[in-house]
Amino acid sequence: MKSALIVVGKSLRYNSPFLTYIQNSIAKQMNIPDQTVYIDKNDKDLFFILEEVISHADDIVIVTSSDSFNLINKVLATLGEESLELKAGMLIPSKATHFVENSYLLERDDKRINVIKAIETKTLPTLLISEQSNTTLFSIIDIDEDSLRILLEPLAQNYEIKIAPTPLIDGWILVEATSNKYGNIENFFKAAKALLPQKIIQHSDCIAHIAEHLEAHHMTLSIAESCTGGLIASMFTKHAGISSVFNGGLVTYSNPIKESWLGVSSDTLEHFGAVSELCVREMLEGILNASLSDFALATSGIAGPSGGSVEKPIGTIFVGARQKNGEIIVERLLLQGDREYIQTQSAYHALKLLLRVGNKIFLKS
C-alpha cells in the first residue's frame, strides 16, 4: 500500500518544529509516507494536485492549517460529488465515516483519506488511520552494502522477505525488511543474527535499543561534546524515562572549559589541539570521572563552514567511546556536507563506537 502526506498552508510548511512534530506523530502510526506534498491554499492548481496525489495513494493524510481546513473540505466534497454536513462541530464531506474534533476520515474506492486541522502550539488531533505494517526497520554495523546484499538477500528470499538497505554513515546501514503474505520475519532475523553475530540491531530506534540494554544491565552513560554541541545528549533526552540510564552531558566548547570541567591538560591543547585523539581520550576520562558512569562518549572537531586548515580541514572530527575499566576507541573522521550534516554524522559515528565498546551488551545475538 502506498501512503501520502499532504501539508496545506505556508504557516505549517515553514514552522519547522511544528512540522517535525506532525511528521513524527504520523510516522508512529503509519510509518514514513511514501510521498510528501506541500501546497499553499492559494495555489491555483490545488484542486488538481490533490486529485493527482489521491489517485496514486491508498492512505492519504491531509494536514491543514486553520485557515485552509474549510477550503480542503470543500475540495474533497467536490471530488467525491457529495455535500458538506455539520459533524462534530465541523463542516465536512457528508460521507465521512469517522470523525472527532478537528479530524475526520473518508473511505472512497479502497482509499482512506484522513483530514486533520493542525493548530500551532496545540496537540495534534487524533489520527484516524492506523496501519498494521509488514515492514520492519533495523540496523547493521561494520559491514559494507555490497557484502550485506550478498549475505542477506538469499536469506531474505528464503523467508520471503524483501530488504532495502540505506547507508546512514560509513559502517552503519539502515535496512527496511518487508514481509510478503507468506513471509516469516521472525525466522529471518534469527537466521540473520546467526549469520552476522554482533552486527544486527533489531530495533527501528537505536537510542531506544541502547537505553533498553543499559537498563537491563543496570548501567549508565554520560557524554562530553564539543563540535556536536549537545546534539547527542538531545538525541537521548528525546526519549521519556531516559534518566534511568543517561546521567548527563557536558558541552565543553572552549579550551578553558575543556580544562576546567573535564581536566583536559593544557599541554594536550597546546601541542595537539582540541581537535585531536589525545584531547578526546582525556575528555572521555574526564566525563567518566565527573559522572561515575559505566560508558562515555566524546566528540571534538571542525564542523565548518570555517575554521579548517591544511592539517585539519573542515570535516575533521574525532569521536570516542569508552567503557569504564574497559575498552576505549577513538576514531578520526573526515566528513563532508554542511555544518548540520557533519554534526549529525559525527553523532552517529560516536553511537557506533558505543555499540562497539559495549558489543557484549548492545550486540549480543
- Paired strand residues for 35: 4
Q: What pLDDT score was predicted for residue 150?
A: 97
Label residue 55 exposed, middle or buried (CB < 10 Å: 0-12, 13-18, 19+).
exposed
Determine the average pLDDT of the residues in 352-360.
97
Rounded to an integer, what distance in angstroms lies between the CA atom of residue 73 and that of residue 78?
Answer: 9
Confidence of residue 135 (pLDDT cuts 50, 70, 90): confident
Contact 301, 278 (CB under 8 A): no
Rounded to an integer, what distance in angstroms lies between the CA atom of residue 272 and that of residue 259?
Answer: 14
Determine the average pLDDT of the residues in 266-275.
98
pLDDT (tens digit per residue) in 67-78: 999 999 999 999
- Nine-digit cell at 32? 514514513
Positive or negative, the CA dihedral 223, 224, 227, 230 is: positive
pLDDT (tens digit per residue) in 301-337: 999 999 999 999 999 999 999 999 889 999 999 999 9
**pTM score, whole prediction:** 0.90
Contact 284, 298 (CB under 8 A): yes
Residue 364 has pLDDT above 90, yes or no: no
Rounded to an integer, what distance in angstroms lies between the CA atom of residue 105 and that of residue 60?
Answer: 10
Q: What pLDDT score was predicted for residue 32?
A: 80
Confidence of residue 222 (pLDDT cuts 50, 70, 90): very high
Rounded to an integer, what distance in angstroms lies between the CA atom of residue 169 and that of residue 188?
Answer: 24
Number of helices (H), then strands (E), belonging to the chain: the values are 13, 17
Burial 147-159, CB ≥16 within 10 A → b, else e:
ebeebbeebbeeb
User: What domains sit in the chain, N to C, each tagged with a CATH number?
Assistant: 3-117 (3.40.980.10), 135-201 (3.30.70.2860), 208-362 (3.90.950.20)
Strands (E), the chain: 3-8, 35-39, 59-64, 84-87, 90-93, 98-100, 103-108, 111-117, 135-141, 161-169, 172-179, 200-201, 221-225, 246-251, 295-301, 316-323, 328-334
pLDDT (tens digit per residue) in 85-132: 999 999 999 999 999 999 999 999 889 999 999 999 999 999 998 765
- Paired strand residues for 39: 8
DSSP code for 314:
T
Q: What pLDDT score was predicted for residue 29?
A: 84
Closest among 214, 237, 219 to 288, alpha carbons compared: 219
% of residues, the chain, pLDDT over 90: 93
Length of the chain: 365
What is the residue type of 182? Y
